[in-house]
Structure 1
Amino acid sequence: MKINKRHLLNYSILLPYLILSVLGLIVVYSTTSASLIQYGLNPFRSVINQGVFWIISILAILFIYHLRLNFLKNKATLTVAMLVEVVLLLVARFFTKEVNGAHGWIVLGPISFQPAEYLKLIMVWFLAYTFAKKQHDIEVYDYQALTKRKWIPRRMDDLKDWRVYALFLILLVAAQPDLGNATIIVLTAVIMYSISGIGYRWFSALLTSIVTLSALFLGLISVVGVETMSKVPFFGYVAKRFSAFFNPFKDVTDAGHQLANSYYAMSNGGWFGRGLGNSIEKRGYLPEAQTDFVFSIVIEELGLIGAGLILALVFFLILRILLVGVKAKNPFNAMIALGVGAMLLMQVFVNIGGISGLIPSTGVTFPFLSQGGNSLLVLSVAIGFVLNIDANEKREEIYREADEAQRDPEDVFVEERYQSNYN
């Protein structure tokens, strides 16, 4: 007997997602209504747009949840998705207007979208598909199964190398320039590479290399100077961010304006906050208060305790997603879930690190809370993938137990639910 997937829904993932999404709508209204009123616009304009994307996201989750997982494992589907993404990234870079120093948005009438946002999930999908196919080789040859080719292809056959595709897509994002999303994609790829089955010592080596190169790069900028480095191609846009990283109060009116006011916002919040809607910094002092620096406003209005509870809920969601990957028996399912968890974790790390001055600000939004329909849709699709994978893994486990006991799968399922509720 076939078990209905609606009975296998993982509410420990769905409920935190719904709570964070609703909180996001409240935060979007709180951070945008004052400025919209100032310009004589509808104060609900931004939250309505976000709400429309949220409804679309819910429908996307329902659709993805009921799909067969074979569509994710289909090479033709993945190939089409990657080709479309390459075209969109090229269009965004060379055929769109510059916005805040970068070419990242494609505008079609009232609709605008950022291809780099979708690449984060496509990269997780691509790497999961690639590494899952190489599991046998990884078990035998360890990291050599993933590094037997050269980085630069010398023959047409070498173009099949997964690293060529990954590097090309990441370079397209960095060339926009969008260093924030490029950083998230690189860190997510490193984590997925490290959990693909290779020896744990290689993760330590990769982590040490990244930390060392980052320290050397920051040291070089500190010695040479931001002004000199700003003359380097593609670096001029991010030069001010590095200047603010070293000392945001050196130039409060320009380079350090955002980070300095981010500090002021968090200082204003204290432990318990000024109250929802009572932020001072969002009233024209802190630019991009509804996107990049939204968590600074959350701290100002809800305090460190309120913001800490939200952050704890985000980490709970990430841990539940990672747990799905850890428990999964199928390598592809495990890599998808772990990749999605890593992607969320890296986005939180880059955003919080940027607003607190731990790392240079990169313009990355905070998951679920920041204004941005594209970001919400991508995260929702990722949640849909994980919920589908979790349900399929549970169903396969029930079928395995039923086969071993030669019983009806429905009876095994009912018995497991009873024992779970009883315990």
Structure 2
Amino acid sequence: MKIDKRHLLNYSILIPYLILSVVGLIIVYSTTSANQIQRGANPFRPVISQSAFWIVSLAAIFIIYRMRLSFLRSSQVVMGAIWVEIILLIASRFFPTVNGAHGWITFGGLSLQPAEYLKLVIIWFLAHKFARIQGDIRTYDYQALTKGHFLPHHFNDWRVVSVLLLGLVASLPDLGNATIIGLEIIIMITVSGIGFRWFSVALTGLVAGAGALLGTIAIFGVDVVSNIPGIGYVAKRFSAFFNPFEDVTNAGHQLANSYYAMSNGGWLGLGLGNSIEKNGYLPEAHTDFAFSIVIEELGLIGASLILAILFFLILRIIVVGIRARNTFNSMMALGIAGMLLIQTFVNVGGISGLIPATGVTFPFLSQGGSSLLIISIGIAFVLNIDANEKREILREEIERTAFDAEKE
């Protein structure tokens, strides 16, 4: 019996996605219109561009939802996506820098950020790889992931591919996306089925590395560390993390004005469109620090409501991953939930001074078509996975009912 997937759509995921997307369009207009007016440009241009990406995103959701999961699990399709990412990341080096990084490929009025798409592609790749060796993981634990070799023996080894892609992003340099992708890799290793102690080891190493960098800057000073090639800009961001008001006109300018924005907002906010900081005071108010403007305009209560909807969406995706009986489906859903959770934590942590700012956008609310499109594709994967899991359960129940009827 054929069961149409249209009747299995998970509205507890789709509706929060739609709400956040619409709210995001409103916030994009609010955070960009003032600057557009000051430049004498069309104030609706950024939101029109974002709306165009959202329409493409809705079309992508429809197409991916109708696809067979067997096609999405195909080795040729997954490795094809990996090779496309490698080519695009290398090609981006030959385009002009944006905010000091080479992460963008531009075609006329359109732009593409390969690192954004890698956030989902790396989850897809690792879910595919780890799902194929579940029997070995249950027997040999972490050794199944390394095939018993400390160093990889071929290019297709997940460690080689992961390090290569992570290195390409870091070399742009794109610290924010490299951090998110690195954390995603740790999450995928954790949900692969290996012992939990390995997650503790990875987390300890990550915290120790960040602590060592902070300690080095604290001991030798940002002026010394900033002269080291390749990490100078990182040192400045860590310096602002210590005390943004010591260098409020340079390294600490963004974080200090982010504090001002959140302080201005209070509990209820200044009102939608009434932000002070977006009028030339807070750089990147439409991207990295969009949530600071949300707090300033909608207050802590309004911002908390948006966070609640986003966390509800993430929670529903986690539920899909936990309930999934297919290993690939489970890891894919959990990885996508992890992607959204990490990006939210890194952004909110950066704008509030909880962690050093890394230039990561806030999901849905920050201007950026690539970010919105990749989140939408991730949502499409989850909706497809959930529908297929439900269909398999319904099919088994129908077959069981038919079998019981025949016995009677």
Taking structure 2 as the reference length, the TM-score comes to 0.97
Query: Equivalent of 2:217, from 206, 212, 221?
Result: 221
* CA distance, structure 2, for counterparts of residue 220 and residue 236 of structure 1: 13
The answer to whether 1:286 aligns with 2:285 is no
The answer to whether 1:307 aligns with 2:307 is no
Listed as ranges, the matches of 1:156-305 within 5 Å are: 157-305=153-301
| Paired position in structure 2 for 1:69 | 69
Cα distance, 1:175 vs structure 2: 0.4
* CA distance, structure 1, for counterparts of residue 210 and residue 400 of structure 2: 52
Cα distance, 1:161 vs structure 2: 1.6
* CA distance, structure 1, for counterparts of residue 145 and residue 184 of structure 2: 16
The answer to whether 1:374 aligns with 2:370 is yes
Cα distance, 1:53 vs structure 2: 0.4
In terms of mean alpha carbon deviation, does 192-201 or 304-313 score higher? 192-201
| Paired position in structure 2 for 1:129 | 128
- TM-aligned CA distance change 1:274 to 1:220, over 3 Å: same
Residue pair 1:271, 1:305 contacting (<8 A) in 2 also: yes
* CA distance, structure 2, for counterparts of residue 100 and residue 407 of structure 1: 64
* CA distance, structure 2, for counterparts of residue 353 and residue 407 of structure 1: 55
Instruction: Kindly provide the amino acid, as one letter, of the partner of residue 264 in structure 1.
Output: Y
- TM-aligned CA distance change 1:112 to 1:297, over 3 Å: same
- TM-aligned CA distance change 1:32 to 1:272, over 3 Å: same
* CA distance, structure 1, for counterparts of residue 6 and residue 333 of structure 2: 19
* CA distance, structure 1, for counterparts of residue 95 and residue 226 of structure 2: 23
* CA distance, structure 1, for counterparts of residue 230 and residue 122 of structure 2: 23
| Paired position in structure 2 for 1:120 | 119
Instruction: Kindly provide the amino acid, as one letter, of the partner of residue 195 in structure 1.
Output: V
Cα distance, 1:232 vs structure 2: 1.9
The answer to whether 1:107 aligns with 2:106 is yes
Matched-pair identity in %: 66
In terms of mean alpha carbon deviation, does 161-170 or 215-224 score higher? 215-224
Cα distance, 1:149 vs structure 2: 5.0
Instruction: Kindly provide the amino acid, as one letter, of the partner of residue 79 in structure 2.
Output: T
Query: Equivalent of 2:346, from 347, 350, 371?
Result: 350
Instruction: Kindly provide the amino acid, as one letter, of the partner of residue 139 in structure 1.
Output: R
Cα distance, 1:228 vs structure 2: 1.5
Cα distance, 1:271 vs structure 2: 0.5
Instruction: Kindly provide the amino acid, as one letter, of the partner of residue 298 in structure 1.
Output: V
Instruction: Kindly provide the amino acid, as one letter, of the partner of residue 402 in structure 1.
Output: I
Cα distance, 1:152 vs structure 2: 4.5
Taking structure 1 as the reference length, the TM-score comes to 0.93
Residue pair 1:241, 1:361 contacting (<8 A) in 2 also: yes
Structure 2, unmatched stretches of 5+, are: none
Residue pair 2:60, 2:376 contacting (<8 A) in 1 also: yes
Instruction: Kindly provide the amino acid, as one letter, of the partner of residue 17 in structure 1.
Output: Y
* 3-state SS of paired residue (1:171): helix
Residue pair 1:149, 1:161 contacting (<8 A) in 2 also: no
Instruction: Kindly provide the amino acid, as one letter, of the partner of residue 146 in structure 1.
Output: L
| Paired position in structure 2 for 1:143 | 142
Residue pair 2:130, 2:192 contacting (<8 A) in 1 also: yes
In terms of mean alpha carbon deviation, does 352-361 or 194-203 score higher? 194-203
In terms of mean alpha carbon deviation, does 394-403 or 299-308 score higher? 394-403
| Paired position in structure 1 for 2:27 | 27
Cα distance, 1:160 vs structure 2: 2.9
Residue pair 1:244, 1:256 contacting (<8 A) in 2 also: yes
Cα distance, 1:55 vs structure 2: 0.6
Structure 1, unmatched stretches of 5+, are: 409-423
| Paired position in structure 2 for 1:412 | none
In terms of mean alpha carbon deviation, does 364-373 or 157-166 score higher? 157-166
Residue pair 2:217, 2:235 contacting (<8 A) in 1 also: no
Cα distance, 1:266 vs structure 2: 0.1
In angstroms, what is the RMSD of aligned CA positions?
Answer: 1.3
Residue pair 2:103, 2:113 contacting (<8 A) in 1 also: yes
Instruction: Kindly provide the amino acid, as one letter, of the partner of residue 46 in structure 1.
Output: P
* CA distance, structure 2, for counterparts of residue 36 and residue 73 of structure 1: 44
Cα distance, 1:363 vs structure 2: 0.7
Point out 4+ residue stretches in structure 1 off by more than 4 angstroms. 149-153
